[in-house]
Amino acid sequence: MKISDALRQKADYIWQRILNHPFVIELYQGTLPIEKFKFYVLQDYNYLVGLTRTLTIIASKSNFDLMRKVLKLAQEEANTELANYERLLEELGLTIEDAIKEEPSPTNYAYMNFMNLTAFLGTPYEGLATIMPCFWSYMEIARHHEKLLKSNENSLYVNWAEVYLSKEYIELVEDLKELLNKASEAEFHRLESVFKRASKYEYMFWDMTYRMERWPI
Amino acid sequence: MKISDALRQKADYIWQRILNHPFVIELYQGTLPIEKFKFYVLQDYNYLVGLTRTLTIIASKSNFDLMRKVLKLAQEEANTELANYERLLEELGLTIEDAIKEEPSPTNYAYMNFMNLTAFLGTPYEGLATIMPCFWSYMEIARHHEKLLKSNENSLYVNWAEVYLSKEYIELVEDLKELLNKASEAEFHRLESVFKRASKYEYMFWDMTYRMERWPI
Amino acid sequence: MKISDALRQKADYIWQRILNHPFVIELYQGTLPIEKFKFYVLQDYNYLVGLTRTLTIIASKSNFDLMRKVLKLAQEEANTELANYERLLEELGLTIEDAIKEEPSPTNYAYMNFMNLTAFLGTPYEGLATIMPCFWSYMEIARHHEKLLKSNENSLYVNWAEVYLSKEYIELVEDLKELLNKASEAEFHRLESVFKRASKYEYMFWDMTYRMERWPI
Amino acid sequence: MKISDALRQKADYIWQRILNHPFVIELYQGTLPIEKFKFYVLQDYNYLVGLTRTLTIIASKSNFDLMRKVLKLAQEEANTELANYERLLEELGLTIEDAIKEEPSPTNYAYMNFMNLTAFLGTPYEGLATIMPCFWSYMEIARHHEKLLKSNENSLYVNWAEVYLSKEYIELVEDLKELLNKASEAEFHRLESVFKRASKYEYMFWDMTYRMERWPI
């Protein structure tokens, strides 16, 4: 079995919880309160900045071939992806300044620090394993709930979700899997630990955004 | 005003919450349920391992004079301090293996990752500012609640607390302040942000241990 | 005075030696033996890979605004610039595989390790100061020796040199200076030390390639 | 075969050159000009500072068990070993300030930057492989040339050399080997590359000190 598939299998019990989280279901049904979606978008903008940092750390420790590929991804995140966010923010009556001013919630901050520290301390593959669950689970969520979109009357949510069903997005996820599959089998135990931790944070991210989590102090 | 005093002042609203947290008060009164204290000790052991890592990262980025001082601290943490923990664990009917097996709670893990990542990304002084609130607030807590110890009938808690009133511990905190006070004034804004974040985590640590926090998945 | 200009001034005695190194003069005159140029191109390819790594390390420690700009540069280096090298290698009867197989000489390896380690240990601005002398001095060399190109009968050398007189290249250098000029004045002493060290390595790079330096063992 | 022995074997052609370098032979014979020895001691002091930094970087990336052992080594280097140097400097009519002021030569600086960068980019075992050749070859040199010491009339050199024949030093080297031997076999190819590079730098260090190398600019 490919490393990526084996990791996905080990984390399945977590991914089932992700697929069925109320935030996800209400978003695909179109019933999610807009305030929760706004909160999500502001938090996720900050998460993408953190994820771009993770990519630069991974690149800095990679051989030139991997560095080039990861740099391309980082460049896309820092430009295309975040530019999409600027459009989405506008549609929500928000600005990029609102997103920059938004303080990452405790769970969001913990997730980003975990990704970045793991990338600093470990191999490039451990770094890649921290960012995989986010990219990959978005695709799987979209496929799993695709039918719900047909009766979803909130065009904002539908437009948002359809990105993750696009050919481009699927290719991106497949490219990432391919990079990760070049890891050595000797690393598997460590990659599993990292991939599961990131999957748990992915679940906790949906949950904190549903609760609109703030710092207790 | 010295940098350390200015930082302490900026974070005072957080420190007041720390001094008055029920875990702290019940511990100094002797009324804290032993299960909560056991949970605290197991979590704190893991925190000290994380803090020792922070010290090694700070050392790795310091000039030789500062490196030597930070190394001495790290060596003390990794040996003396953690040896004390082994004794304490034994008195609680726990072993070092229990402590190693204990999974750091979400808040504990987030706190450690914040410290280590900040130390990697920033200057040695930013690293020192992440570890100061822990060392320093333990001394301040002990002074603030010293009187409570007189009527505290739990000798385990009293012995634990008296360490933080000892001459050696006070010297350690003063040494750390002195190191931090050598930072450049130009860094103050950044140090304030780090010191406050670490103070918030210190508050959240007491709170998570009072709640005996576990991973939601 | 702007930080970049002040740094340039402090390093002037080194830059005079760069401008007048026989490798540089013979290259602009067209009299440089082709074997030395081939050696240079193979070594420089490896240097550019190392410099791209430096950019990723700088990006990983920068705020998002600087990260984005540095990522754009890194992406350009990893693609456009190195693609130019592939064309140049072909014109010299060499392949990209030859370049990858070429072992960086001791001076080249020392220069790259200095850049990358400085970027890891210091601020993003210290990182930028390690890469500035290379970019900037190539522009200054081209301007200083522009007249020599008129009587240079080696079209390969002329084509190579004219890149550094192009509007695009000048803009790139000006952009880099602007990034560096946002450093805090409090950092100047440290930036000076780094900028001079990088300038010395720049001089030593021309000298090692003129000598076609190899490992003594 | 143990990893350390396999690495030693792969680097044997380099170690033969180390054992027979004129600096080493003249030192053990007692005929080395004192000026060269003074130069060596000043450079080596700076090297040990760099090596202590390498140990802190290795520690920062290790699990707690390895971190503790590496920290102990770093602490010994930063204190005992460098204290020995202070005594030696005094006997040579030099001070610790002379050593601190001494600029590391190009080869020394390149060696240290290689060690520190490798430790940042790679696994803890790659870090350990950068420092092994120094510790280990000093022991092997001492054993190989032990007989020469009997007719060596320079007591300063004899005292210096006898440290590397002591029980404590041999234990230190054996401890280091044991740490390295815990690396995974999957890492061997990478460790070999690092160990050979460090061995080459070890040879080049003796050679640069024999030439009393200075920066060309």
pLDDT at C82: 83
- Summarised one tens digit per residue, pLDDT across range C90-132 is 999 999 999 999 999 999 999 999 999 999 999 999 999 999 9
- pLDDT number for residue D32: 98
- Report residues of chain B scoring pLDDT below 50: none
Residues in chain B within 8 Å Cβ distance of D75: 71-72, 74-75
Q: Scanning every residue of chain C, which has its alpha carbon at the shortest distance from the alpha carbon of D105? A: C110
Angle made by CA atoms D173, D176, D178, in degrees to the nearest 5: 110
Question: Quick one: average pLDDT of A128-151?
Answer: 98
Tell whether C196 lies on the interface with B, counting CB pairs under 8 A. no
* Contact (CB<8Å) B200/A215: yes
On chain B, the residues whose CB falls within 8 A of the CB of A106 are 107, 110, 204
Q: Dihedral angle at the C-alpha atoms of B55, B56, B57, B59, nearest 10 degrees?
A: 90
Assess whether pLDDT exceeds 90 at residue C78: no
* C118 part of contact set with chain B, CB < 8 Å: no
Residue D94 has pLDDT above 90, yes or no: yes
The model's pLDDT over C81-96, given as tens digits with 9 standing for 90+, comes to 888 888 999 999 999 9
Looking at residue A196, its amino acid is: K
Among A64, A68, A75, the residue with its CB nearest the CB of C71 is: A75
What is the phi/psi pair of residue A216, to 5°? Answer: -70, -10
Overall average pLDDT of the D37-43 stretch: 98
For residue A96, which amino acid is it? I
Please state the φ and ψ torsions of residue B169, each to the nearest 5 degrees: -70, -40
Which residues, in sequence order, are CB contacts of B54 under 8 Å at separation 6+?
B112, B115, B116, B119, B127, B130, B131
Averaged over D64-69, what is the pLDDT?
Answer: 95
Percent of chain D with pLDDT over 90: 94
Measured between CB atoms, which of A57, A64, A78 is closest to C71?
A78
Q: CB of C116 within 8 A of CB of C57? A: yes
Which pLDDT score is estimated for B31?
98
Q: What is the pLDDT of residue C194?
A: 98
Chain D residue nearest residue C115, CA to CA: D113
**pLDDT value at position C84?**
84
Contacts of A14 in chain B (CB under 8 A): 217
Angle at D146 between CA D143 and CA D152, to 5 degrees: 150
pLDDT band at A64, cuts 50/70/90?
very high
Q: Report CB contact under 8 Å: B68, D79.
A: yes
Minimal C-alpha gap between A215 and chain B (Å): 9
What is the predicted pLDDT for the residue at D82? 83
What is the arithmetic mean of pLDDT over A187-204? 98
Residue with tokens 């890492």: D187
pLDDT above 90: residue D206: yes
A80 has pLDDT over 80 = no
Is 90 exceeded by the pLDDT of residue A78?
Answer: no
CB atoms D14 and C200 under 8 Å? no
pLDDT at residue D84, as a whole number:
84
Smallest Cα–Cα separation from C87: which of C11, C152, C163?
A: C163
Per-residue pLDDT at C80 exceeds 80: no
Q: Find which of D67, D121, D126 to mutate to test the A interface (most A CBs within 10 Å of its CB).
A: D121
Dihedrals φ, ψ of B117, to 5°? Answer: -70, -40
Identify from A64, A118, A121 which residue to disrupt to test chain C contact, counting C C-beta atoms within 10 A and taking the largest count: A64
Contact C89, C95 (CB under 8 A): yes
- Say if the Cβ atoms of A123 and D121 lie within 8 Å: no
Instruction: Out of D106, D114, D204, name the one closest to residue C216 (CB).
Output: D204
Mean pLDDT across the stretch A152-179? 96
H/E/C letters for each residue in chain B? Answer: CCHHHHHHHHCHHHHHHHHCCHHHHHHHHCCCCHHHHHHHHHHHHHHHHHHHHHHHHHHHCCCHHHHHHHHHHHHHHHHHHHHHHHHHHHHCCCCHHHHHHCCCCHHHHHHHHHHHHHHHHCCHHHHHHHHHHHHHHHHHHHHHCHHHHHCCCCHHHHHHHHHHHCHHHHHHHHHHHHHHCCCCHHHHHHHHHHHHHHHHHHHHHHHHHHCCCCCCC
Instruction: Give the pLDDT of residue C73.
Output: 93
CB atoms within 10 A of CB C94: 18
Helices (H), chain D: 3-10, 12-19, 22-29, 34-60, 64-76, 82-91, 96-101, 106-121, 124-144, 155-162, 167-180, 188-210
Distance CA B21, CA C167 (A): 63
- Give the chains touching A; criterion: ≥3 Cβ pairs < 8 Å: B, C, D
For D126, name the nearest residue in chain A, comparing CA atoms only: A123
pLDDT tens digits, A45-57: 999 999 999 999 9
Look at B52 and D71 and tell me if their CB atoms are within 8 Å: yes
Test D123 with A121 for CB contact under 8 angstroms. no
A·B CB contacts under 8 A: 46
Mutate to test the interface with B, among D46, D48, D54, D56 (most CBs of B within 10 A): D56
Q: Is the pLDDT of residue C171 over 80?
A: yes
**Does A78 contact chain C (CB < 8 Å)?**
yes
Query: Looking at CA atoms only, how far is residue B136 from chain C in angstroms?
Result: 27
